[in-house]
Structure 1
Amino acid sequence: MSSQIKISEGMSAGELRSWARHCGNGRATARAYAIANALDGLSRGEAARLAGMDRQALRDAVTRYNVEGVTGLFDRPKGRRPEWLSESEQATLAAVIFKGPKPEVDGVCSWTREALAIWISAKFGKTLHPGSLSRILRRMGMSRQKARPVHPKKDTKAQERFEKRGSAIR
């Protein structure tokens, strides 16, 4: 391997193996053992085979190890797809949830995931399954629990009279 690509002398093979034992990441450990095997003088193919990888994977690991040290042996973060709702749309959704529905406008007296999915479809033109909406709400720090529904035409004075005197029928 030394004729193909040089391995930096930052750590000896024994130090690299010791680091690999305490690393806790299986893929980084395998890369460290492969590099340690190559430092001990094994051929690139044999060092990679003993660590369970291809020669090209070992070459890539050595290149990253030479530049970044042992931190280069860890996997890079993977790309993620963008959020289904943008930041401004999530802020609008949170404001609507906290404000509560208007029965005459929204057609519901309490927000459910299904009702919110319909509202999002009408407002933003994006269709969501209620389960997906549940994940979005959790990421926003909300739960799917809701307060008891309140009838829009409730009579608070009648409730107070009832609580003071009890049942009207005696």
Structure 2
Amino acid sequence: MAAAVGVRRDYTPADLRRCARRSGDADQVRRLLAVALILVGGSRSDAAKLAGVTLQIVRDWVLRFNESGPDGLATRKAPGRASIPER
């Protein structure tokens, strides 16, 4: 089993909730609130249940948050080839 990844502490749970209120991206809001729950002492399992995802996805969110802060939790365009336009 892998060791738990720590969450950066330069943002408070209140900061993350404030970012969530300002965000127009519903998926980013869900991610921010899950990370805020972890910061107040909730378990990652609780955060996963709150967000309706698996523990692995919560871990990925924590890694993204640690790397880029709240902006790292914004919905990104999927990688891969661009779609072929219809004729």
Q: C-alpha distance in 2, partners of 1:51/1:81? A: 29
8 Å contact kept, 2:25–2:75? no
1:43 counterpart residue number: 43
Structure with higher RCO (Cα < 8 A, 6+ apart): 2
8 Å contact kept, 1:7–1:39? yes
8 Å contact kept, 1:31–1:61? yes
1:33 counterpart residue number: 33
2:73 counterpart residue number: 73
Unaligned runs of 5+ in 1: 85-130, 133-170
Q: C-alpha distance in 2, partners of 1:14/1:51? A: 18
Q: C-alpha distance in 1, partners of 2:31/2:18? A: 13
Report the Cα offset of residue 76 of structure 1.
2.1
How many residues align? The count is: 84
Unaligned runs of 5+ in 2: none
Q: C-alpha distance in 2, partners of 1:81/1:14? A: 38
Say which SS state the counterpart of residue 77 (structure 2) adopts. Answer: coil
Q: C-alpha distance in 1, partners of 2:46/2:52? A: 10
Report the Cα offset of residue 65 of structure 1.
0.5
What is the one-letter code of the residue matched to 2:75?
D
Say which SS state the counterpart of residue 20 (structure 1) adopts. Answer: helix
Report the Cα offset of residue 83 of structure 1.
4.6
What is the one-letter code of the residue matched to 1:17?
R
RMSD: 1.9
1:24 aligns with 2:30: no
Q: What TM-score, normalized by structure 2, do the two folds share?
A: 0.84
1:52 aligns with 2:49: no
Q: What TM-score, normalized by structure 1, do the two folds share?
A: 0.45
